[in-house]
Amino acid sequence: MSHVVSGKVVAITGASRGIGAAAAREFADLGAKVILMARGRDAIVELAGEIGDAALAVPCDVTRYWEVEAAFNAAVETFGALDVVINNAGVIEPVARIDASDPEAWAQVIDINLKGTFNGARAALPLMAGRGGTIIGISSGAATNALEGWSHYCSSKAAALMLTRCLHKEVGDQGIRALGLSPGTVATQMQRDIKASGINPVSQLEWEDHVPPEWPAKALAWMCTAEADAFLGTDISLRDEGIRSKVGLI
């Protein structure tokens, strides 16, 4: 039986490494066409070369709406449609307590994690109108838990969760599925940055405590199926053993 994403066109932001790169490989393996979006051109061009004809690399800064819009238009021009958007681009650096944080650096994290997620949703909606689609945000336990040194990250993820809820309320009845994935701690560069900060309990976790990026990648593909419809408008947590079981990770 072919997977529901086979033949679909999937745009992934932050596709140069970590969860984004793993998701690109997973969706391509399942027969999807993938649009790889990231600021770093070389990494996504290399990944597109590895995946082959089913991939298109589009350098893109998610904080600039017109760049996201142009990338999605390229998806439609190349592959004929846009079916799924994975708003994965996100940063946590620089980790700092509020009284020591740099205001411009703090705001830049909000721009990427929140405005970038809004831009991905906003640019997708006209292309999904009348045909439906799926818009997934990468969330975090930080969306609902305050952590020392992470005011920028916690605030941006809490706001992005509310954006998912608003999307579902406004366009859920039009066949556009909005939901978020809270993947837990994943073995990526972001966790190395967190460790280097030495702030709060997350930085003290052992490397073995983190799940491989292939796990959230599989979860993202599962979230595109009707099995995940019960979770529309909410975050799905990969820490939940029931979810891991549904995704096939147990």
The pLDDT-based confidence of 196 (bands split at 50, 70, 90) is confident
- pLDDT tens-digit map of 34-53: 999 999 899 999 999 999 99
The pLDDT-based confidence of 226 (bands split at 50, 70, 90) is very high
Structure tokens at 134: 């799926």
Mean pLDDT, rounded, for 121-142: 95
The pLDDT score that the predictor gives to residue 199 is 76
Average pLDDT of the chain is 92
Show me where the domains of the chain are located: 9-245
Mean pLDDT, rounded, for 172-198: 83
Better pLDDT: 13 or 183: 13
The pLDDT score that the predictor gives to residue 1 is 43
DSSP track, the chain:
---TTTT-EEEEESTTSHHHHHHHHHHHHTT-EEEEEES-HHHHHHHHHHH-TTEEEEE--TTSHHHHHHHHHHHHHHHS---EEEE-----PSP--GGG--HHHHHHHHIIIIIHHHHHHHHHHHHHTTT-EEEEEE--GGGTS--TT-HHHHHHHHHHHHHHHHHHHHHGGGTEEEEEEE--SBSSHHHHHHHHH--TGGGGS-GGGSBPTHHHHHHHHHHTSGGGGGGTTSEEETT-HHHHHHHT--
Distances (CA, A) of 157 to 9, 146, 165, 181: 26, 11, 13, 11
pLDDT > 70? residue 190? no
Mean pLDDT, rounded, for 186-199: 73
The pLDDT-based confidence of 141 (bands split at 50, 70, 90) is confident
Residue 59 makes CB contacts below 8 A (sequence gap 6+) with 37, 38, 39, 40, 41, 44
CATH superfamily, domain at 9-245: NAD(P)-binding Rossmann-like Domain (3.40.50.720)
pLDDT > 90? residue 24? yes
- pLDDT tens-digit map of 229-245: 999 999 999 889 999 99
Q: What percent of the chain has pLDDT over 90?
A: 76
Query: Out of 69-83, 113-127, 137-151, 206-220, which region has the weakest mean confidence (pLDDT)?
Result: 206-220
The pLDDT-based confidence of 201 (bands split at 50, 70, 90) is confident
The pLDDT score that the predictor gives to residue 187 is 65
The pLDDT score that the predictor gives to residue 188 is 66
* Catalytic center residues: 153
